[in-house]
Structure 1
């Protein structure tokens, strides 16, 4: 049985990846700073993405690594966290994967990180992608679009976001990221050395709010770079049909909402 180490295993993306890998029969090590963390189906290994030696121990003998970086809290930063620290953590994970001889690294990036945008929280992932490319470790880059899970909360009375109300955006459920990640690890010959933009639906914020049954309110965006990204409608080309062939359970927003409200 091959082993995959999952960083961020107690978070939303990492947790979804753990669930699907375990369901598919992988041996999973869940990286956590907390030795008492409970991650069903996985073996918790203590490690910190800021500590390369702990990553080396966690990755020893592993076939694969799923790399996702939690946002390091920094109240002094305009973003509320440190993009520079996020970048250093992503680089540390990639370096440790290479040193451990890992056969397949899967990096959870962001759709906006395929190029430099001027937005610090997007550029941090772009920098990690560039570092990984220079290393040459066999890697699949996943670029999720807007999380459906971040658009709906039980009891919400309005949808508040910075998205342009008229522009249609691609959306993906976090659990579907986990399922697709498991499918990618199962087919390294097909996916190593490639990137996948992840989406299960494409809707405008007004359509999303209507599906939930609440009004939409747009947040005023002060950052000109951020405003440019979310106002130009620069949505990627996503082959949702191909993603659904890879993961037949890929959800539309209506399907996500039905399960979330059940």
Structure 2
């Protein structure tokens, strides 16, 4: 099976390409680095020739609200047209749990636009919404830092390791399209500030993490269930403690 991974050189894409190739499939990493640009369309038809499945894990180069919206909307539309022309049988896209619950977060709004474009494209699809990656907890802490204290919204958090994201995406890519949404998450759910505090303590960062109802998550207000699955979700295997220990070992 030929599987094209859009964004195949990044955090998730590189892991996914490796897993699929190890399983005996032909996985192609497609990104601007390899001459494939989903915004301009450069190299897209050539990359998708004879492809069975396309998995889109690309990230926007800019988080400025209009730029990120333009990126995801244009990329999804171009991919849809190219996939129809190439006869692609399954489009898989990585999105975010809670995209439909945080309208003040410009990135989430852009991901919703991407999802809508995928649904309208006419290619059988599966949208995989993931909780936040463990690899980004440090950045989240830095974004919430004010005066030596890390302010975190009053909600629940269920981060997932990038290795688990890639493994679950591989399962979805090799299965039949569901023409709907699949949620994936880490194995542990806890208050947002508690998880950030555990991370900070492990890495030797003395900054306290406190729950602050007014703290924003990249512009969005955090409610109790804003960032966690509301129903059934496929869970990763790697706990936060395991991931921290693996990170230290590496």
TM-score of Structure 1 vs Structure 2, range by shorter chain:
0.7 to 0.9
Gaps of 5+ in 1: 36-45
CA RMSD of aligned residues (A): 3.0
C-alpha change, 1:84 and 1:210, in structure 2 (3 Å) is same
1:90: Cα distance to partner? 2.3
Pairing 1:30-109 to 2, within 5 Å after superposition: 30-35=29-34, 46-52=35-41, 54-73=43-62, 77=64, 82-109=68-95
Matches within 5 A, 1:1-262: 2-35=1-34, 46-52=35-41, 54-73=43-62, 77=64, 82-114=68-100, 117-152=103-138, 159-162=141-144, 164=152, 166-188=154-176, 191-200=177-186, 201-212=188-199, 213=201, 214=205, 215-216=208-209, 226-228=219-221, 230-234=222-226, 235-240=228-233, 243-244=234-235, 250-262=237-249
Q: Does the Cα contact within 8 Å between 2:94 and 2:129 map onto a contact in 1?
A: yes
Cα pair distance change 1:104/1:261, threshold 3 Å: same
Higher relative contact order structure (alpha carbons within 8 Å, sequence separation ≥ 6): 2
- SS at 2:103's partner residue? coil
Looking at structure 2, the residues matched to 257 and 239 of structure 1 have their Cα atoms a distance apart, in angstroms, of 26
TM-score (structure 2 length as normaliser): 0.81
1:126 CA drift (Å): 0.8
Shift of 1:121: 1.3
Q: Deviations over 1:76-113 (max 9, x none)?
A: x3x59532223211221222122211011101111122
User: What TM-score results when the alignment is normalised by the length of structure 1?
Assistant: 0.77
